[in-house]
Amino acid sequence: MEDKRLAVYAGSFDPITNGHLDLLDRGLKIFDKIIIAVAENPAKKPLLTLAERLELIRASLANHPDSHSIQVDSFKGLLVDYIQRTGAVAILRGLRAVSDFEYEFQMALMNRKLSRKPETLYLMTGARWIYISSRIIKEVVQAGGSVTGLVPEVVESKLREKFGK
Ligand code: PNS
């Protein structure tokens, strides 16, 4: 039977940030269970391999109080096909600022065109994290800056290792 309160939080997570973790916590107030689904997305040329991204998410969630409600997975191909296989009722995404809107609107409408089934639900990222993105985090570490407090420690260490900093 379909799980009424299952959502898929999909993304590249290259890497996971505290903004993502905040959004997950918000989502868990609404859904019984959330699958964090990492898109392989080779077209996006991620810095981290799929295995590394999954490992960092798992490590970041190691002491999460609701770990029984969170699953970490990956998918290839269309998100709506993956959603169908899981029986989830919603796609969870975060919105930071107006600049996110256009891309998110396009994606939500394309997903709806591909499948009428899942609803895309947007939650506002916590104000503390409004300015951070995986992209800007990578840029700062690559340039030798600190991202302490913005990403889990394991993520910062991994990025430093990758960039030789
Ligand atoms: O974290 P991101 O990079 O903004 O996440 C984007 C993601 C992975 C959710 C999106 O690119 C996606 O769903 N990719 C899978 C392919 C797909 O279904 N594309 C059609 C929807 S636009």
Residues 6 or more apart whose CB falls under 8 angstroms from that of 59 comprise 152, 154
121 Rama sector, left if φ>0, alpha if ψ -120 to 50, beta otherwise: beta
Q: What is the pLDDT of residue 43?
A: 79
Beta-carbon neighbour count of residue 96 at 10 Å? 19
The whole-angstrom separation of Cα 19 and Cα 155 is 13
Contact of 8 with 34, CB cutoff 8 Å = yes
Residue 4 confidence (pLDDT): 61
Indicate which atom in ligand 1 lies nearest the CA of residue 12. 1
Q: Residue 82 has what pLDDT? A: 97
pLDDT of residue 99: 81
Q: Is-contact 35 6, C-beta < 8 A?
A: yes
Domains within the chain, CATH numbers bracketed: 6-131 (3.40.50.620)
pLDDT at 91 (0 to 100) = 98
Residue 37 Cβ inside 6 Å of ligand 1? The answer reads no
- Name the closest-CA residue to atom 10, ligand 1: 11
- E strand intervals along the chain: 6-11, 33-39, 70-75, 90-95, 119-124
Give the pLDDT means over successive 10-residue stretches in the chain (165 positions). 79 97 97 97 88 98 95 97 96 91 95 95 94 97 97 98 94
Q: Which residue's alpha carbon is nearest to atom 16 within ligand 1?
A: 78
